[in-house]
Structure formats: C-alpha cells, structure tokens
Chains A and B, each alone.
Chain A
Amino acid sequence: MTGRNGRGTRRLAALVGLSTVAVLALSACGSEGSGNSGGNGKTLTVDTSFVIKGLDPGTVYEGTGNMIVHALYDTLVTFNGSDISKPQPDLASSYTSSPDGKTFTFTLRSDAKFADGSSVTSADVVFSLNRLKNLKGSAAAIVGGLSFSAPDAHTVVVTSDTVNPDVPIILAEPYAGILNQKLAEQHGGEDGTDAAKTDSLGTYLNTHAIGSGPYQISSFDAASQVVLTANPKYWGSKPAYGRVVVSNMDVQNQKLTMAKSPSDTIALDLAGNALSGLPASLHQSGSPDTYYQLRIHADPAISPVTSNHDWVQALQASLDYQGIAALFGKSGAPASGMVPTAYAGALPASEAQHQDLAKAKSLLAASGVGNQTVKLLYPAITYVGVDLGTIAAKVQSDAAKAGIKIQLDPAPIASFLDQRDTGKVPFSFSPQSLDYPAAASIVADVLPGGHTASAAGWTAERADPATVAAGKAVLTATSADEQVTALQKWQRLMITNAPYITLCYSAGTAVASADLSGATYTAAGWTVNLAGVSSS
C-alpha cells in the first residue's frame, strides 16, 4: 500500500513539475500583444458602476449606455463640453426653426462618413429617427410627437405636433444617434410603424457600431466591461485615446483607485462624502442635474392629512434645506425651485428655501390634522453616493421639530415604483432627473393632466389656476428666452401651490486623473464626452 501511495505521490510530483515547466516555458515565450495598440496609443480607463442593457440607440436610456452610445453614434446636433446652453452642429452644419416653434430644418454636412466609409445622408437620419420612434423603447415617449422627412439628400425636416423650441435639444441626445441605414437593414433593422415587433437589430448593435462616431465597439459585456477603439475613418477630429475601456466598478473600489492618483483614468460615481479625502491633483467636475422631491397626495379620499394645504405648507416650512443638501457634501445644494441649477430656467441660489419652525408650528396648528402620522414611502437605494434612507430620516427629524409626525416606509425599488404607480400613495420621496437637458420637459408631467400630477391627485379642480396658466406659458413658449422667463415664474408659484416639495439638488460628478484634460462632467445626458478626453 505504501509503495502504491509512493508511486502516486511521485506521479503527482511529476505532473506538478511538468505543469510548472510548461507554465515557465510559456512565460518565456516572450511578450504578447496587448490591447493597448490602438491607433492613437494609450488606453483610457473609465470606472463606473454599470447601468447598461445594450448599445442600441433606439432603446438606450441608462447612464452608462448613454455615455458609450454617444461615443459610437453622431447626432444631428450636440453640446460641446459642459456647456448645454445651445445645441451645436454635429452631423448637421446648421438648423433653422419656424416662427411657430413647430418645424425645424437641418442641413447635413457633406463630409460626414460612417465607419464603413459611406456618406451620411438624410435618408439615414430619417430611418434612424423613425426607428427610434417606432421601436417604442424608453426614448419613444420623447420623440412620439415628432415626424421626420428628407426633402433632399442633405436636408432633414423635423415637425412637432405641438410648439416645442426644445426639438434640437431632444435630437442631441444619444438615443437620436444616426445609424447607417443600409447596414441596419441588412441586420434586421426596421423603421416602420410595426418596428417594435419586427426589428431584430438590437443585439447586433451590442457588438457592431454602425454609426459615424469617433469610436467603434471592440467588445461588450453588460456585467464587466465595454471596450471601444478609435474609428479609423472618423470624419471629425480624431480622439486622443485609441482605446477606451469602460469598467464596471463598485464605488468603494473607485475611490481607492482614484486615491492612488492613477493615470489615464476617470471615475464617474464618486459623489457626496466619497469625494472627500481624494488627492488635490485630481480633476473634479460636476453639475447639479438631479433634484430630490417629496410628492404629497392632494386627494382627501387618499389622505385627509396630506391633502390639507396648511399641513403641506407646515411641512415645507419645517425642513432644513441646507442641512439636507449637506448630506451630499460639496455636490449638494439647497433647492430654490423644481429645476436644478444645471439647466436654463433654474431659480437663483439666493431664492433657496429656508427652515422656519415658528411658521411651521403655526401652520400645523391651523391644519387641525397635526396629531396624525403619515407614512413616507421611498426607494431603499443608494443614489449618487447617498443612501436615500438618510435623507428620509432627515426629513422625518426636521418635521418632528415642528410637531409633524412621519413614519418612514422604505421599499425595494421595484415595489416602490409599483406602489407609486397606483396613484394611491399619500406621501413619497424620490430623486428625479430630466429626460433631456431642457427644464420645460418636466412641466407637462407635473401639471394637472400629467402623469405625476395624476398620481399625486392634483387635478385641475384642485389646482390654482394661476399656477396652471404659468405652466402652460412654459409649454407654449416659442423661444428659449421666453421659456426661461416662464419657467421661473411658474416655479415660484409651484412652491406655494403644488403638492411637491423640492428638497435639494445634487451634482453628478466626474473625477479624472491629473494627466487628463477634457474629462468634464456634462448634464447633457452622456456624463463625459469620451472623444473629448486627452492626456496632457
């Protein structure tokens, strides 16, 4: 038995020895080609906690997906850097709008080419935008009222059902990326009214970019990383990095990584307290583009407490807006109105709300319902680096100082959405962001008749007519300037007359290594323009 075991041991030792020799031999085979041989040299690493399902412009709406799709597909117009005040030419060299704010004519540039070398034509644009509309993905809700036509090979006309001076902004977003029609149709792309059923292009686009953007897809994995390589036939300025690796990384890990002052690296999820203690040499940029809002049901049948105007005003006066914003560290700011300061139409910081406990107590006494407890429903998640439970607890504690009784009711995100969708939740809290960088996009939804207003029981009968009229003035403004003025007037009325309390704004943030330039956060919708990042 011992002899047999001895032979076994010797055989095992021999096997281990052979394996070791094999490994060493392989190690001695010389170096292998790394992926770092992109046309323009180095690799840019972007660390972010992935929110991505695919790379089809027709269905993309998640943060990570938007950033990558923006690098793969050009749009008619775009925004440069972090400036989102006015769309700039991209595939379209110029555009004009009709005086009624309903028709927009885009003239395409003649030198724009797809990655296969073919020219970008108006037919490609119309195909892509019709496909976007008819696929009935998330962005279809935004372009639903638009129709597209191509009078000639270099002109695209976009017509809106309603007055909408923000059409160019809508068409600057990643979902409006232009596909090569010929390639799209070869791989199952459809733009007809039944495209939601017949189109089968989506999965193909996860591994093949058929746009005219500065990058192409090298590999895609929704769980770990997406690798982009520079488009050798890009018609515009070549990107500085030949290869970009977007890696899925936990926030704690991102912080440790950036704390070591790496090179060629960007982290996108460091916010709130996670920004403290980082080396001063890193570049930090951000823009307050998210608002945190309490929604209070206005229907007495749902809650006699939350439908009581004095109770709502008491709650509004009881909150410490500056303290709530402080929970986000330097990326937070107390709310002035509903529109975050990243966007045109926001109220100035000087109009930020303040706590007034004496007023709150007085209003609560007048309400006659101050002794009743109300449940505050919120999603039990961490958002932009802050646990929403912390904010809800702060609201509860501030309100308690005025005698308002709130019971916290955290729920998993799916359950939260489901409950709130019923329109029967008396009191809830959630972060909100805009679909596209134009503040007017939130107005219709929160005015009586809109989905959010309906879910809050805020009907035309319960609403203040002046507030509703101010909202309608925003929606019928035919120019951007007119819209900004109307937005500010509307927000001031909403503060006292609507069943929403905006608590604070928080900024999305990009932290870039010291050697990078152009890695600035933008509220445009794609976080960072990867093609605009360069190494100094």
Chain B
Amino acid sequence: MTATQPPAAGLIPAAEPPAADGPGPAATTRPSRTLLRFVGKKILITAALLFGVTILTFLLVQAVPGDPANTNLSETAQQNPEIVAAYRAKWGLDRPLPMQYLTYLNNLIHGNLGTSQSTGDSVLADLKKYVPATLELAIPAMILSLLISVGLGLWAAVRKDRAADHTIRGAALVGLSTPSFWLAIVVLYVFFYLLGVAPNGGRLSTQLTPPRQVTGMYTIDALLQGRPIAFRDALWHLMLPVLVLTALTVSILIRFVRSAMLEVLDQDYIKAAYAKGLPRWTVLRRHVLRAGLVQVVTVAGLAFASLLSGTVLIEQIYSWPGIGQYAYRAALNLDLPAIMGVGLFVALVYTVVNLLIDILYGIIDPRIRVS
C-alpha cells in the first residue's frame, strides 16, 4: 500500500469521521430550510444579546462612581455651575436616565451610535477607524498562532513525555506566566533599542503619510494604492506587536492542541491506520489533525475574539491606535457613547466568532453538519 492510497473502509471504526462527501440524499433535501432556520435563530439571539449588552453597559456605567462633567472639564470649570450645566445639556446628561437610554436605543436603531465625548466624532466613525487597526494586528497574529501551535502541539503529542514534549510544554508554561506588558517592553527593548531592527511603535514611520482609508488596514490599503514603501513600512511596524501577540496566543493554544491530539492519538482507528502501514505523516495529517481540530477550533475562536476585542497593554506600549486604546480612553473619560459602542462591538465579535466556530465544526467534522 502506498501513501497515496486511501485506507480500506472496513478498517475504519465508527468513531472516525466519515469522508466529507456530503450529508447524503436524506439530508440534501432540506439543507436550505435548516440553514435558514439556523441563521434566523442566530440573528435573533444576536439581536437579543446586543440589546442585553446595551442595558448592562448603560447600567454599569451609571453605577461607576464619577461624573463625566468632572472627568471632561478642567477643575476650575467644574466649580462653575453654568459650565457644568452646559456640558450636561450638550451631552444629554441632564435628562432622566430612562430617557437617556431610550434616546440611545432610538439612535441605535437608526444606525447612530452617538458622539464620543472623548473625540468629538461619531462613535461609528471612531470604530471604523480603530477596529481595522486592531484587525491588522489580530489576523496575522491568529494565523501565525494557529500554524505554530498546531505544529508544535501535534509534535509534542507525538513525542509525548520525551524531550521535545517537555520543552514545548515548558515554553508554553513560561509564555502563560509572562505578563503581556513585560514581554512587550522586553521585545521592544531587544529588537528596537539593542538590535535596531524594528521600529519603536506606531503603524507607520512619521516620514510617511498613511494610505487613504479603504479597508483601514495600512498594509492592504498601501498595496491597493500601489505604495510599496508604505506597505513595507506598515509590515515592519506590525512585526513586534504581532510577535508578542502570537507568543501569548501560542502559549494558550499549544496546550489545548497537545491534549486534543493526544486524545485522538489514543483512538483505535489511529492504531488501526498505523497497523495497516500508513505512513505517520499521512495518519497525522488525514486522521489525527482533522479529528483533533474540532476541540482546538473552540479555543482558537475565543482567542481570536479576545484579540479582536483589543489588547490594551500591547496597543499602549506599541502606540497602536486600536480598539483597546479607544476603550481604555473611553473608560477613563466616562465616555458613555464610546463605552457602549465598544461593548456592542465586542458582543458582536464574540457572536460572529461563535457562529464561525459552529460553521467550522461542520466543515471539519461532517457528522456535526449532518446532525
């Protein structure tokens, strides 16, 4: 038997995922209706969730001690009742709380997330500006994290209790125990200050003008506008924050990958695959990896959602104007519209990521798709 030959069907036990040839004739008659029901249900849940987030965020912000007028006006101005009253009137803070909330909801329904007290811009415009910056960090960090953690996690599982396994687990433990801000500063110190191979933060060198916003991601926008120097520079600026985020995410994922792979490696159908002489790489790639990934996808999805929700400390240290910094400033200034805007965005991110995880389950394991 050669490596290109599929395993004999009779040797594959029921526990192994069947080949992804489709759900069969019975299932194909109702896929669109099932899918519609599934999507409809998800949309309803998302709407209810977002509504809940608005109530919760609004109540939490009100519960926090502190008056936005105090945090947004100078100390002298705070002592002038006329100025404080004008501020409260300008931002609608002089109306009863239920009225404030209902006005917010009404605006929200019309696609208006309000105006940020910190930036003076609409919250929607702010999110359009800051979310792409975070996306530009999160996407490469997640791709690299998955590649590295799946590779190393699988290797650690295969080499269980040997030197490679201990080394990988030890490294993951060190990564998990390392505070993110400390790692970020050390990486900056080494690569920027000592070696001089990386920039000191920001999204682009100060000599360059940012590309016109299309996607908001400088690398992509620079490419679209044919600006290779800006592209390379943006890529260069991504290097350190992506490296740190990748290191932190890999530390989380790698243990899950290893444990998922170990579980699959212990299954009878894997032993059977080896027994019939399939090469190790074929068994790992075709049977172990695919079955193990179902468990990994959940954790990876949540890690991705966490990256998308903003990494305040990393963004702060690398002067990266993403959603994390925006949320931090909004919280400091008790900027209610911005806090609620970020809350809604984060809720939406987790909902969408969970939806994608559900879809990925079906792609990775056809049994889930059928059920």
A binding-site residues for B, Cβ under 8 Å: 1-2, 22-23, 26-29, 31-36, 43, 45, 53-54, 56, 61, 136-142, 144, 196-197, 202-203, 206, 218-219, 221-225, 227, 245, 247-250, 252-253, 256-257, 259-260, 412-415, 417-419, 421, 432, 435, 445, 451
Contact = CB atoms under 8 A, between A and B. Distances in A.
Given A26-B231, A223-B321, 14 more contacts: A23-B228, A27-B232, A29-B226, A34-B229, A138-B83, A140-B80, A223-B119, A223-B326, A249-B201, A252-B188, A256-B192, A414-B66, A414-B67, A421-B70
B77 A141 contact: yes
Interface stretch (B22-30, B85-93, B150-158, B160-168): B85-93
Contact of A61 (B74, B200, B209, B325): B74
Interface string B173-211: 000000000000100110011001000111100111110
23 contacts: A23-B231, A26-B226, A33-B209, A34-B207, A34-B208, A54-B120, A61-B74, A140-B83, A196-B90, A202-B120, A223-B321, A223-B326, A249-B200, A249-B202, A252-B185, A252-B317, A253-B319, A259-B193, A260-B193, A418-B70, A421-B67, A421-B70, A432-B75
B66 A1 contact: no
Contacts of B118: 53, 222
Given A206-B120, A247-B202, A414-B334, A256 B193 contact: yes
Contacts of A252: 185, 188, 317
Interface string B63-107: 011110011111111111011001101100000000000000000
B46 interface: no
B287 interface: no
Contact of A138 (B19, B77, B210): B77
A43 B204 CA distance: 14
B227 interface: yes
A248 B82 CA distance: 33
A224 B90 CA distance: 26
Interface of B: 4, 6, 19, 64-67, 70-80, 82-83, 86-87, 89-90, 117-121, 129-130, 185, 188-189, 192-193, 196, 200-203, 206-210, 223, 226-232, 316-321, 325-326, 329, 332, 334
Contact of B319 (A138, A250, A419): A250
Contacts of B89: 196-197
Nearest to B209: A35
A2 to B, nearest CB: 5
A32 B228 contact: yes
Contact of A415 (B66, B78, B226, B319): B66
Contacts, number: 173
B316 A250 contact: yes
Contacts of A419: 65
A223 B325 contact: yes
Nearest to A430: B75
A413 B71 contact: yes
Given A203-B121, A224-B319, A141 B79 contact: yes
A375 B290 CA distance: 61
Nearest to B192: A256
Given A26-B226, A259-B193, A414-B64, A248 B321 contact: yes
B78 A421 contact: yes
Contacts of B119: 53-54, 222-223
A53 B332 CA distance: 13
Contacts of A61: 74, 77
A2 B206 contact: no
A250 B189 CA distance: 13
Closest 4 CB pairs of A and B: A414-B66, A224-B321, A451-B79, A136-B86
Contacts of B80: 140-141, 144
Contact of A417 (B71, B192, B317): B71
Contacts of B117: 53
A417 B66 contact: yes
A250 B201 contact: yes
Nearest to B21: A1
Nearest to B2: A2
Nearest to B325: A223
A2 B229 contact: no
Contacts of A219: 209-210
Contact of B66 (A34, A224, A225, A412): A412
Contacts of B226: 26, 29, 32
